[in-house]
Amino acid sequence: MRIKKLKLIGCLLLGMVILLAPVHAFSQSCALCYTQAASAGSRMIQALRSGILILIAPPTFMTIGLIFVCYRKRNQTRQPLDSTQPRDNW
């Protein structure tokens, strides 16, 4: 039990390091994005940052929700079905 907790904590720490590590932004080579950001003022740059956050938040939360549901339902597919157990228990 203790080893499982250590593995979980290790995976979470590794995930945090990967997410927080700086990565090269390959989209900076887009000519339209680069010229728009370069010619924009501070309000436009803030709007661009807000737009990026708005576009990235829903897929992230949906992915986390899907992982949570799959994690919670993982043992239902491993158990053999009896004749007394209903088949539509999802």
Residue 20: inside a domain: no
- Region of 11 please: left (phi>0), alpha (psi -120 to 50) or beta: alpha
Residue 6: inside a domain: no
Residue 37: inside a domain: yes
pLDDT tens digits, one per residue of 2-39: 888 888 899 999 988 888 877 665 555 667 767 777 78
Residue 46: inside a domain: yes
Statement: residue 44 has pLDDT above 70: yes
Residue 15: inside a domain: no
> Helices 42-72 and 31-39, interaxial angle, to 10°?
130
Residue 69: inside a domain: yes
Domain total of the chain:
1
SS3 57: helix
Q: What's the average model confidence in pLDDT over 60-85?
A: 79
Buried b (16+ CB within 10 A) or exposed e, 7-30: eeeeeeeeeeeeeeeeeeeeeeee
Residue 45: inside a domain: yes
**Domain of 48?**
33-76
